[in-house]
Chains A and B, each alone.
Chain A
């Protein structure tokens, strides 16, 4: 009785093996596409949110300036989207000084009301950096970033959207080294972009530009 092979040997096998190998290599890039985890706590307000204030983010990582790095990249990404007026970081810090709020601590609910009023903001974005690290290998650097951001309409009692998002540079690998994100700056920009895409789909409405 002849042996039964699971994969029949045929002249075309080397080619199909190569295809299988390529597919297996590409698989991690396809699977690792987990999006942000978000919760919508309240309905979106009817009027658009034109003026946005991004409050200093809390940094729970070993990156000394991790909070500021993501903060400024997030502001840059938000500025690139039409229809939003992003309040200057200097204005926000000035009011933090006036209200004696430590930028390394979260403002109280009442302080956020005052901040929104003084900045004439339509919405406030606050949050924290949970993970920011670079795993360095011999031939590649794998940045990892996890953030938790909250969008609160001005004057609201509770946030409208909260989002936890964790990404690694490895998540964007397509095949071999292609697609890999090697810098924290690029990863932060991608994370910020993905969160803003999600928020715009769930009630962060810009003004007509």
Chain B
């Protein structure tokens, strides 16, 4: 009964004692065979042992120092870590040769092409890339980032990052607290690889590698140039595409897609491809010339007329292979633009004379683009009577937000007062011209007033004060002084013209003559003054510059007052 208690439940017949010994032996042999077969089956379906997985540990990029610095200790640390986890690590010498062969100079990153090459040449299943994010011996900090890449499809299947500081390890009474960078590295290793996939999961992830669609037959566009990139309708666009293919290009048909149209390029000699294209505006398009004149890097030169509609036209390169597969890659776009830039001067601030912006020292003209767009170049002109160019400035790119004219001509001398035309021309990148203009009035450098005296000897004089130019006078003052500096009277007011009567000037009371000081301020805020040594000499004589008779030399001119 005791034997019955331990018998295998696989025995169909529970009463083994009732069966002959031979039958029991056969049953046990069968059981062993079943178990062996089961074990074999399990073994076949089980994951690959870790030793069968090969990993290439690439040099670790040290981001805590200069650009592209190698961290040899961390590289060795990762190599040992991979070996400790049971993976077969590719030797440093093999790796160095591979990197030299593929001209790999940048650390911490690899293009897919080189990752898949590592599978073929190094027989590596995995690639481990690492970067030291932080390493500060003084502060006791260490940071590391690692990623594990499957070489079969260049996919990252595991990644981890961790930063540790000695300050993180502060513990009660300091027990087991890390004391140096060595301790920190040990702790970092534990935490960084805490999420490392177990062997069976790693093997399963390797088996999951997807062999995706072939990447465009190896089509690789090196460079694309559009000259020009913005065109006016009907203007030629030249597009130069430099590309490489891994397969034999002679087998492929080359197409260019411009907007919604596809043009096939044909060739006679394998060097030049041509395609005819009729523009949608019913004009005969220019043939598209496609030149291929480099053995390894192909060059395509395309020339076609700009499409009639204003729009951005995407351009793609299409290769059609005999298998029917098409590789299409977007190479850029060009813009057809027929609209000239809308530019204008914002109305300058300040008072106006005869409806024109008037100024004495400088005039600021704010520039406004109604429809902001890139500007290729601009030209600013100031023209005088007879379209004579007085001042000129030009530049490339966007025009200044404000253009300033200081009333000077091209030689730097002050231009004569009068009417001028300020003009701004701007050309957008397609060459469309936009223009703005503003008539301005240049006033004399200082405000002034004309003083006229009329009257009989020994009679009170009648004075008349009128503005010298069109600018409004906001304040004036006239002071009368005797030769010995005794004030004889002051007259002032706001606005001109003004008429007033001067007191009778008695020469006997002021034998040295009666002097006068005239002060005016205009609406622009400019103020000037003028001294007249002998007012009697001015009787029936107009004062003011440029209005006929010259003032007596002793009287002097208008002086700016600031």
Contacts and interface: CB of A to CB of B under 8 A. Distances in A.
Interface of A: 64-65, 68-69, 72-73, 75-77, 79-80, 85-86, 88-91, 93-94, 98-100, 110, 113-114, 117-118, 134, 136, 139-141, 177, 180, 182-189
Nearest to A67: B63
Of B131, B154, B220, B222, most A-chain CB atoms within 10 Å: B131
Interface of B: 63-64, 66-67, 106, 108-115, 131, 133-134, 139, 141-147, 149, 154-156, 158-165, 167-168, 170, 195, 220-224, 329-333
Contacts of A180: 167
Given A88-B109, A182-B167, 19 more contacts: A69-B63, A72-B145, A75-B159, A76-B159, A79-B158, A90-B109, A93-B106, A94-B111, A98-B222, A99-B223, A99-B224, A114-B331, A136-B139, A140-B167, A183-B164, A185-B133, A185-B145, A188-B133, A188-B161
A114 B147 contact: no
A183 B109 contact: no
Contact of A183 (B63, B67, B131, B143): B143
Contacts of B170: 177
Contacts of A79: 147, 156, 158-159
A99 to B, nearest CB: 8
A93 B109 contact: yes
Given A65-B67, A85-B155, A91-B112, A189 B167 contact: no
B496 to A, nearest CB: 59
24 contacts: A64-B66, A69-B133, A72-B108, A72-B133, A77-B161, A90-B106, A90-B109, A90-B110, A90-B112, A90-B114, A90-B115, A91-B111, A114-B332, A140-B167, A141-B139, A177-B167, A177-B170, A182-B141, A183-B163, A183-B165, A183-B168, A184-B133, A184-B143, A188-B161
Given A80-B160, A110-B332, A182-B141, A139 B112 contact: no
Nearest to B130: A72
A9 B440 CA distance: 85
A118 B224 CA distance: 13
Describe A's contact surface by its main secondary structure.
helix
Describe B's contact surface by its main secondary structure.
strand
A88 B111 contact: yes
Q: Sort A-B residue pairs by CB-CB distance and give the 4 closest, nearest first.
A: A185-B163, A185-B143, A183-B163, A90-B111
A81 to B, nearest CB: 10
A176 to B, nearest CB: 9
Of A90, A110, A141, most B-chain CB atoms within 10 Å: A90
B222 A76 contact: no
A189 B192 CA distance: 13
Contacts of B329: 117-118
B224 to A, nearest CB: 8
B167 A76 contact: no
A113 B331 CA distance: 9
A200 B419 CA distance: 66
A114 B64 CA distance: 32
Contacts of A184: 133-134, 141, 143, 163
A93 B68 CA distance: 14
B109 A186 contact: no
A75 B222 CA distance: 26
Contacts of B223: 98-100
Nearest to B143: A185
Contacts of B168: 182-183
A76 B63 CA distance: 15
Nearest to B331: A114
Contacts of B66: 64
Contacts of B145: 72-73, 76, 185
Contact of A76 (B67, B147, B154): B147
A98 B133 contact: no
Contacts of A90: 106, 109-112, 114-115
A113 B312 CA distance: 13
Contacts of A73: 133, 145, 161
A139 B131 CA distance: 27
